[in-house]
Amino acid sequence: MSWYREIDRAQWRVLLAAQLGWILDAMDVLLFSFALTTIRDEFHLTSAAAGALAAVPMVTSALGGLLFGYLSDRYGRARALAWSILFFSVFTALTATSRSVAELVLWRAIVGIGLGGEWAAGSVLVAETWPVRHRAKGIGLMQSGWALGYMAAAILAAVALPLWGWRPLFLLGFLPALVTWWIRRSIPEPQVWRKAADSPTRPSDLLRPPLRARLFLLTVLCCCLLFGYWGLFTWIPAYLSSPVARGGLGLSIVRSSAWMIPMQTGAFFGYILFGFFADRVGRRTALVAFVLITAALVPVYGLWGRSTAVLLIAGPLIGFFGHGYFSSLGVIAAEMFPPGARNTAQGFSYNVGRALSALAPATVGALADRHGIGAALALTSVLFAGAAAVSLSIPQAPPAP
């Protein structure tokens, strides 16, 4: 029997809810990345300062991960997912009212709290609802929403930025709030969570053996992956649209947005196929393979991307391998921790990594000011290689319920 026939309607609906949340999360983050060059010019920022501004929600996302992780373990996965989407949607729209850099920092900091909670709530919801033997497939399908959100942001940026500027772009960020009504109405809480709620694992248990060592390992892995990811993908739109004199390709916003579509098409299939690959060969083996290939591809794209052929070939490959490994994190985290503390641990690890990776856009921006954006992007491959080394410490444990 085909694997997808083993998934019932309620489980598909859970996947759709989690995937929609991730699509909207990605759209919010990438709208800011596409608008970064315009915002930099309006507020007369250096590349390093613009990178630091992009990093603000990554810092506050750690707080959001802890907050919504606790709320998810305490009150339910579906509830926390809906609350987090509503939170970042409202404050994304308020970003459009910014009249100074200080106001931009304020709104983006608050947005980060909501963004920090969304991923962990959605991925745990899928992990606890789908059959164990298809868990990586389910989370891979959920993660593919990031590519769809990225493409939606690229299309919106190509249409709205040249005509109306960046402010109307952020007003569209309120639309995700409408999804929360459907989630609260249609998505039940997983039975695994309901059982764990009767005998909850306390958050303080994460600081004691054996969970402490697992928490540390997962956090270091997330730091390496997210530093490399945000250093690379925050600046790729700017790399494509920046003048050649600054080390960029000098493409128009419309053309640079168009080049992002093949890359994110590769990402879409990378998320999905990683899940099938991981269910077959194991989570750790799949993760190591994907991040090592990413480490090898990034210098090619960053240093030789002026060739149309390189953009056409390397772009989708970087999208495929440079995003696909994220499908492993939700599976690995869910299988390392008990249900009562699963979302708190996952939200903490992922969002501490996200917060520390806030240095990545600013670091790449500072290097771009000195050496050009293309050369700066190539340095992120070191972090991907480091993630592969950390991944080897992850035990190939049997899947948890």
Cα-based distances in Å from 179 to 20, 85, 117, 175? 8, 8, 16, 8
Q: Is residue 211 part of a domain?
A: yes
Instruction: Say how many residues make up the chain.
Output: 401
Per cent of the chain over pLDDT 70 is 87
Tell me how far apart the alpha carbons of residues 210 and 218 are, in angstroms, rounded to a whole number: 13
Which residues are within 8 A (CB) of 168 and not within 5 positions of it... i.e. 6 or more apart? 96, 160
Tell me the mean pLDDT in the region 203-231: 87
Is 254's pLDDT higher than 60? no
- Going by pLDDT thresholds of 50, 70 and 90, the confidence category of residue 269 is very high
Is 30's pLDDT higher than 70? yes
- Going by pLDDT thresholds of 50, 70 and 90, the confidence category of residue 320 is very high
Q: What is the CA radius of gyration of the chain?
A: 20
- Going by pLDDT thresholds of 50, 70 and 90, the confidence category of residue 100 is very high
The answer to whether the peptide bond before residue 210 is cis (omega within 30 degrees of 0) is yes
pLDDT at 197: 62
Is 247's pLDDT higher than 80? no
Q: Is residue 287 part of a domain?
A: yes
Is 271's pLDDT higher than 80? yes
Is 281's pLDDT higher than 80? yes
pLDDT at 304: 63
pLDDT at 139: 92
Nearest to 291 by CA among 396, 364, 213, 221: 221
Contact of 390 with 224, CB cutoff 8 Å: yes
Tell me how far apart the alpha carbons of residues 361 and 29 are, in angstroms, rounded to a whole number: 13
Q: Is residue 177 part of a domain?
A: no
pLDDT at 388: 94
> In this predicted model, which residue has the larger pLDDT, 258 or 386?
386
Tell me how far apart the alpha carbons of residues 339 and 41 are, in angstroms, rounded to a whole number: 47
Tell me how far apart the alpha carbons of residues 123 and 136 are, in angstroms, rounded to a whole number: 10
Is 394's pLDDT higher than 90? no
Cα-based distances in Å from 314 to 267, 297, 359? 12, 7, 26
Phi-psi region of 62 (alpha: psi -120 to 50; beta: other; left: phi over 0): alpha
- Going by pLDDT thresholds of 50, 70 and 90, the confidence category of residue 251 is low
Between CA 232 and CA 329, with CA 222 as vertex, the angle to 5 degrees is: 105
Tell me the mean pLDDT in the region 225-246: 73
**Which tokens go with 336?**
């390392």
Contact of 376 with 364, CB cutoff 8 Å: yes
What sign has the CA pseudo-torsion 328, 333, 336, 339?
negative
Could you tell me the residue range of the domain that residue 92 belongs to?
3-169+203-391
- Going by pLDDT thresholds of 50, 70 and 90, the confidence category of residue 58 is confident
pLDDT at 199: 59
Number of domains in the chain: 1
Work out the mean pLDDT of the chain and round it to a whole number.
Answer: 83
Contact of 12 with 20, CB cutoff 8 Å: no
176-185, 193-202, 204-213, 240-249: least confidently modelled range: 240-249
Tell me the mean pLDDT in the region 322-346: 86
Tell me the mean pLDDT in the region 84-99: 91
Q: Is residue 175 part of a domain?
A: no
Tell me the mean pLDDT in the region 310-317: 79
**Which tokens go with 309?**
């052929």
Between CA 271 and CA 275, with CA 273 as vertex, the angle to 5 degrees is: 75
Is 287's pLDDT higher than 80? yes
Is 240's pLDDT higher than 70? no
158-162, 245-249, 285-289, 344-348: least confidently modelled range: 245-249
Cα-based distances in Å from 25 to 89, 285, 316? 9, 28, 21
Is 124's pLDDT higher than 70? yes
pLDDT at 399: 53
Is 262's pLDDT higher than 60? yes
Tell me the mean pLDDT in the region 196-208: 70
Q: Is residue 158 part of a domain?
A: yes
Tens digit of each residue's pLDDT (9 = 90 or more) over 361-387: 778 778 777 776 666 777 788 889 999
Phi-psi region of 169 (alpha: psi -120 to 50; beta: other; left: phi over 0): alpha
Tell me the mean pLDDT in the region 73-101: 91
Between the ranges 41-55, 141-155, 281-295, 361-375, where is the mean pLDDT highest? 281-295
The pTM of the full predicted model, rounded to 2 decimals, is 0.79
- What's the CATH code of the domain at 107? 1.20.1250.20
Angle between helices 283-304 and 326-336 (to 10 degrees): 150
Per cent of the chain over pLDDT 90 is 25
